[in-house]
Chains A and B, each alone.
Chain A
Amino acid sequence: MFRNIFWRVAIVALSGCSFDAYAANDADLQAIREQVQVLEQRINQQSSAAAASGEGAFNPAIALILSGTYGQRKQDAAIPATGFAMNANNTAYTRGFALKESELGIAANIDPQFRGVGTFSLDPAGGINVENAFVQSSALGNGLNLKFGRFFSGLGYLNEQHAHVWDFVDQPLVYRVLWDNQNGDDGMQLKWLAPADMFIEIGGEIARGRGYPGTDRQNKNGAGAGVLFAHFGDDIGIEHSWRAGVSLHQTRRENALSNAVPDLNGALVSNNFTGDSRTAGLDFVWKYAHNGNTRESYLKVQGEYFQRNESGMLTYNTTGASITDSYANTQSGWYLQSVYQFMPTWRTGLRYDRLASGIASVGALNAGNVIANYAFSPSRISWMVDYSPSEFSRFRLQFARDDSRQGLPDNQLFLQYIMSLGAHGAHQY
């Protein structure tokens, strides 16, 4: 306010000058008029800054992600990868034009201690899915970070990243079959960052066990899933940076029903599994940019490996014979991908995926029914190129040769757009 008065006085003084001393000179008058205009503009700017206070100023940051695809493929997306019929198979592929989930994000500081984040995905067919809804506290200090509510688990590297920052249209196969694309759960997470020059972070989560492979414990006390992870990372000079991690996930699966599972008799049956699921993972990412200037160009190489061990009791053909005996299997998968920004706004990427369905130990009662060894390794190779006119818009073209189903190779083509409106939060590494 004081400044406003100051500027007004200055303008009056200036305009006064113009009449007294320079009245005869038109050019000078013009110059002074311009100066007055500049000063007036400043006053307006300051007033508008003052107007930012009030009720509206406390509105949270709101972001909306719009995304859609055009897809062309030979095989039906519902056919699972060979050997993974008892896993998740959420491809989210649609032939032809399709709207993808619209993601609405709302975030704000709640008070000096807490920050709240809500991410709601609006299903194109209708309905709202609460993707994330968590409270985070970084006021604990000492490198501690607490999160509670519904959030994407800190396991792996890609798991925490939202769909709009994925480098490809879809998730790697290993994420699709082992995590149903992304493991989100209801619970709490505590992370601790070591006071070192290098990035060393360890964290743990306890949760409901809602997200796949969890089976959502109905009406039970206690925790249904646990995660432990450690991340390491650093810069090497100004041009290189990296992060590596290890993670462990454990849950108890109860009455996990799978439909259309092939058996040794050539039929498709429904199986039911109850037992323990333990998953271990390794991940790394390395990024390079000339002079560290990621605006011009950069190279990113990342890879992850997960291995899951499940052991318990399997009921074969729940709608028919319904024979229960022991079942144990170890499945694994990995991917390696690289994304290269060869000039501002243009990137290209290549990804290779591979899965191993394992050789199951099947109890004697089911030895003649359940397929123990599929003797096939699903794989896929994907290539993409994307163009981002600005930080907030992106168009992508992706080709994939999908050999994840034995005898059913698939050539896939995708076109995608991802647009972000409103407040755009900072991205994770």
Chain B
Amino acid sequence: MKKLLSIFLLLVISWNAHAELNVFACEPEWAALTQQLAGDQARIYIATGALQDPHQVQARPGLIAKARSAQLLVCTGAELEVGWMPVVLRESGNSAIQAGRSGYFEAAQYVAMLEVPTRLDRADGDVHAAGNPHIQTDARNFLPVAEALSKRLIQLDPANTAYYQRRLATFDQQWRAAIARWEKQAAPLKGQPVIVQHRGFPYLNNWLGLKQVAELEPKPGMEPSAAYLGNVLSGLQQHPARMVLRAAYQDERPSEWIAERARIPAVIVPYSVGGTSQATDLFAMFDDTIQRLLAGLK
């Protein structure tokens, strides 16, 4: 009996020693980043798909079950997941990933936020107090987030410190080179006027110098009416735009409507890993984003 018990204990200990870190990633881009930084040391569950609007995910039983055994939660934060994450966290019964604990990681805390509202009023639509949460459209934002996330991985799994540091160094080097490449490729986009379907591109605009002249939602998160789209269309005569952008998960109708009448291309931006068939990883996501934007200029 004693022998059996000691074998069992040994098994438990050795299983623990080889256990991968259980990561719950709210959006595919953070799953992809965690994959870059943690390699095979992490078992990653992705809570949402690139074709899902991350504002409007439900606190499904499946999500709660996965959060129960997660050791690290990697989310955008800035209230992007406010409609479902609080319930998932509460119902998970997992104290390690509650807000403020080391198992809770919000990417938005590590980048300079844009469009932080000076007044909070629901009359302004779906505004986020911490600023616009769609930070993943500026490739430069991944550098500070990666550094902070790597530190967090080390904090949770110090045994593999060297491994994580090595992977961060590799990622950092490759990513900086890629940013330089993307910026060079995207040079023709600078100053080009664009329309966006949802106020979800300030970071992309800021990075590549696109000039946003109109939005298709009357207020963030509100569906455009035909009359409102008509107004946008007539406004285009004064401020013509080269293309209309939308995230892969957004309804095609409003931007197709404008595109057809204003005779400009409607460009789908993958927005996250998996948003388009080409956006298979983080690098491919930005490759594809820039290719699509450049194609929109033609």
Contacts and interface: CB of A to CB of B under 8 A. Distances in A.
A138 B92 contact: yes
A429 B61 CA distance: 7
B93 interface: yes
Output the residue of A197, A242, A426 with the most chain B CB within 10 A.
A426
Contacts, number: 137
A293 B249 contact: yes
Number of contact residues on B: which range applies? Answer: 35 or more
Quick one: which of A231, A233, A392 has the most chain B CB within 10 A? A233
Contacts of B249: 291, 293, 295
Contact of A427 (B61, B83, B93, B125): B83
A192 to B, nearest CB: 7
A296 B251 CA distance: 7
A295 B93 contact: no
Q: Is the interface of B mostly helix, strand, loop or mixed?
A: loop
Interface string B74-94: 000000001111110111111
B32 to A, nearest CB: 16
A391 B90 contact: no
Contacts of B223: 344-345
B49 A238 contact: yes
A241 B61 contact: yes
Interface in B78-125: 82-87, 89-96, 98, 100, 116, 118, 122, 125
Interface residues of A, number: 54
Interface string A183-225: 0000000011111111111000000000000000000000000
B93 A191 contact: yes
Contacts of B251: 295-296, 344
Contact of A199 (B49, B61, B96): B61
Nearest to B45: A197
Contacts of B221: 390-391
Given A144-B93, A293-B52, A426 B84 contact: yes
Given A138-B92, A197-B66, A344-B251, A389 B222 contact: yes
Nearest to A42: B112
B195 to A, nearest CB: 19
21 contacts: A49-B116, A138-B89, A141-B94, A141-B96, A144-B93, A193-B91, A235-B60, A238-B49, A238-B52, A292-B48, A292-B51, A293-B51, A293-B52, A293-B56, A296-B251, A344-B223, A391-B126, A426-B59, A427-B59, A427-B87, A429-B59
